[in-house]
Structure 1
């Protein structure tokens, strides 16, 4: 898997390749000039040849793969093979294509070699894109492929689902909207790649025979692209910045948007601060036993590193933290307040142990004056954890714990009550917006960025302490989450929103839940 992360080699399943070629076969003539920009083992080209296409270029960066492609397609005059890095090839070739089809490699920018970075930066500058938006090599495959098309040319790519929802991909989505009249997005009911958790989509971009300028979303079962089990066309003018609103029809999207605008946003609560980026959680976050055995009590601060440490916890007080810290590491090594002369022998040994493990050479640590000092982060009055399963995890931080960067720490304005904020957060409207504004990953895990979290609408009111006590008890007793939401809705929403509208909000949220969890 580590090799795959570096080379991006996640080969397209045969059934998916066949479905893609079958879909385009009835729409395109056989004399088109075609490019496969990430040749791999040649399976897409084999299907193209079998379908009768006669003019195909292949670009493949890895020499060993190129040699195998040369053998596989030896003496085939329909094919030209280039042993090139596509990031370079796409900048300097004079070739133009009627169809560019493939499964671009998936390589995080931290694995991109310096030579590739040079060409990628040139591509972004050429297209007036911010290089800071680049986060994976598939970004530049899509960007530069658009520039290699003939008039009325098409692109058919296998892309990660993040293309539809990532902030990094926003400028790419805007470019696609401006360049193509017909945009088809295919999503799959079943898992497509067995060995990766990343969800994927097919993206078919064209101008040909486009009667309406819209995005067509299609949910596919059994690789039958021509007969989706669900279809929704959305006018380009009614899209949100992410392309994940396809589940809703225009009336539903308008309903939820107008309702949201009636309430305050989360960013009105106060300052939202990031959690601590330690640079090495396994080194800096310690167990109670280790702290006690090495007499480190004065050198640590309480910290929560994972939302799962807070299962069935709504209010993190001293007692709850003590119980949690017995079962997981909750002590952050915090040496900022001490001079070296104040370190005990065990701390000095532990620092040497860290240097032996080269923790000091890790990126975040290497940028500090003293590699083992932590950023100065303040604990929040409430903490929201950016990833969740069925329900978001947001807690009252009575213990004043620090968190890692998985948590967003909200330091409340004095006019807000922390327990009331957390109570109100679990209403159906805010929870539906968590689904709409966030993004999901393989396995159905949902995530919100700080910007997305701050944009959430929050119907806030001061909650009576007895209602908070009942709510807290329901969480501790692990009551059904729908029962918890219904209780909150009855107190927070029912005064101002009609029963039928609350039911409609719940239905919208369930649509998104069903999509990401299956």
Structure 2
């Protein structure tokens, strides 16, 4: 493919947008030593970047869409056949098949992985038997499409994001691999392979293309060390157990066996409840322009905004510092002149003149252009404003906070809104929230975010296990605390706390 370099430069993504973080040489060497077993083996790198993998084997093919990076790859591996362009388009047309594949696929998020490229990728994977949602990151379809180019008995070794252990979009990849390879081995590495990348990366080995397996081998390493083969020590994760008990996640296997067995036992007890059985958990409102729609008491006085159009709001999880949010806490926010008031306007044709003047400010005209504002009618009426029974922190350091809403506040989408379901007893298992077991459940059901944070999506929060007080008093605390410490180390909280 011939392209004008100047036009290509305009279209070129940044390193972060393209997911282009080049692999350290010891990792490259390890993956190649395992994947390539004969000089005659044909090696494929579906996203060859600067050519580190194809330079390690004389019989290689690489695909790369970035012109400058492609030129570096050609210079580094002049013997290799390097194609410029979209891998998915090439994979759908090529008749060539390979004994092995290795590489580091681009970690492009679904927001950037879009348009024709995403359509081609998902269409190709569907034809191969892997159904991804539109929210998938590009690396997972990359690996399915690569597997589809292997010869019977072929193998592949790749760097993958640690999201393979918990992200819903990664489940179709693992489902595909266990149905098409005799051996699937995931190696979790706690120490970062890419120090400059916030995302953790693991390793994936798949062997015996054309076969099938009923287990996933799972190994954990504190730090990466060069090797000619995957670790000899591993847990045999039953595919049936992975799919049913652990909801297609490998992350629970970072905990020790005894803690995981105890967890399984407790969550299946008749007196244990999942949080979603007791409460509806969702995000708060989306204003579209937080700085405009949240006013300080001094601004309320300046614009003379009527109090009936104001509602005290929790803007982020940092406000959740105790087990209860009280009127006294809100009063402290007022005294500190914090932007605690949501401008909560109904869908009226006529508004008070003071409100109209505020809406007609320069800040108001800018707010109207924000996406969430311009697609609603009227633009100034923030929808889905609720007063929950509890607030639940969305991202947490030590552990998520569940805070009772005694101050009749609402909340933004930076905090989860928790509403107890009708007919649920007022203290039904919720009193166990502060226990070590529930902390462990938050670690297992949630997932890590950069900087040591634990993130709980609403669907994850519904799975938090809440045992009865009777059950809690009977549990051995040692394996539970050990598992909590281990899970926090894996999300790097222990190293930054």
TM over 0.5: yes
1:14 aligns with 2:25: yes
1:235 maps to which of 225, 235, 238: 238
Establish whether residue 223 from structure 1 lines up as the match of residue 192 from structure 2: no
Structure-1 separation of matches of 2:13 and 2:350: 39
The corresponding residue for 1:101 is 102
For 1:514, the equivalent position in structure 2 comes to 489
Q: Which residue of 2 aligns with 1:464?
A: none
What corresponds to 1:487 in structure 2? none
Say which of 36, 43, 66 aligns to 1:62. 66
Q: Alpha-carbon deviation of 1:331?
A: 2.3
Residue in 2 that maps onto 1:465? none
CA contact (8 A) 1:439 1:447 kept: yes
Name the residue aligned to 1:339: 349
Deviation at 1:404, TM superposition (A): 1.9
The answer to whether the 8 A contact 1:232-1:247 is kept is no
**How far apart are 1:87 and its partner, in Å?**
2.3
1:278-297 CA distances to partner (integer Å, 9 max, x unpaired)?
23334433333333333335
User: 1: distance between equivalents of 2:33 and 2:353?
Assistant: 69
Equivalent position SS for 1:216: strand
Post-superposition Cα deviations, 1:228-271, rounded to whole Å, max 9, x if no partner, equal 69743433343221011223455543331121122122122233
The residue that corresponds to 2:305 in the other structure is 296
* 3-state secondary structure, aligned to 1:446: strand
**Using a 3 Å threshold, how does the CA distance of structure 1 residues 242 and 513 change in structure 2: closer, same or farther?**
same
Cα offset, 1:82, TM superposition: 0.5
The corresponding residue for 2:138 is: 137
8 A contact 2:35–2:101 mirrored in 1: no
CA–CA distance in 1 between the matches of 2:363 and 2:476? Answer: 60
1:201 Cα offset (Å): 0.9
* 2-structure distance, mates of 1:327, 1:43: 56
Q: 3-state SS of the aligned residue for 2:196?
A: coil
Secondary structure of 1:181's aligned partner: strand
- Partner of residue 439, structure 2: 431
Structure with more of its chain in helix, by fraction: 1
**Post-superposition offset of 1:173:** 2.1
TM normalised by structure 1 equals: 0.82
CA contact (8 A) 1:34 1:55 kept: yes
Q: TM-score, normalised by structure 2?
A: 0.85
1:57-87 deviation line (CA, Å, top 9, x unaligned): 010011232233334434x2xx111011112
Distance 1:221 1:459, change over 3 A: closer
Counterpart Cα distance in 2 of 1:35 and 1:513? 37
Give the match's secondary structure for 1:145.
helix
CA contact (8 A) 1:5 1:108 kept: no
Aligned-partner SS, 2:202: strand
Match 1:256 to one of 241, 263, 288: 263
Deviation larger for 230-239 or 140-149: 230-239
Counterpart residue number, 2:49: 40
RMSD between superposed Cα atoms in Å: 3.0
Deviation at 1:95, TM superposition (A): 1.8
| Alignment-derived partner of residue 475 in structure 1 | none
Give 1:73's aligned residue.
Answer: 77
Whole-angstrom distance in 2 between the partners of 1:230 and 1:514: 20
User: How many angstroms does 1:316 deviate by?
Assistant: 0.3
Alignment partner, residue 477 of structure 1: none
Alignment partner of 1:110: what SS?
A: coil
Distance 2:109 2:402 in 1: 30
| 1:442-461 matched pairs, under 5 angstroms | 442-460=450-468
> Quick check: 1:33–1:98 contact (8 Å CA) kept in 2?
yes
Question: Retained in 1: the 8 A contact 2:394–2:415?
Answer: yes
Q: Distance in 1 between matches of 2:436 and 2:214?
A: 35
Secondary structure of the 1:372 match is: coil
- Which blocks of at least 5 consecutive residues in structure 1 are unaligned? 461-491
Deviates more, 1:110-119 or 1:378-387: 110-119
Identify which range, 414-423 or 258-267, moves more after superposition: 414-423
CA distance in structure 1 between the aligned counterparts of 2:357 and 2:92, rounded to whole angstroms = 56
SS of residue paired to 1:57? strand
* Partner Cα separation in structure 1 for residue 131 and residue 446 of structure 2: 23
Aligned length: 471
Between the aligned partners of 2:151 and 2:486, the Cα distance in structure 1 is: 39
Residues in 2 aligned to 1:124 and 1:373: alpha-carbon distance in whole angstroms: 42
From the superposition, tell whether residues 17 and 348 of structure 1 become closer, same or farther in structure 2 (CA, over 3 Å).
same
Q: Matched residues in 1 for 2:214 and 2:173: separation?
A: 21
The 2-side partners of 1:328 and 1:10 are apart by 41
- 1:348, distance to aligned residue in structure 2 (A): 2.5
8 Å Cα contact 2:432/2:467 also seen in 1: yes
Residues 198 and 291 of structure 1: is their aligned pair in 2 closer, same or farther, counting only changes over 3 Å?
Answer: farther
Residue equivalent to 2:287: 278
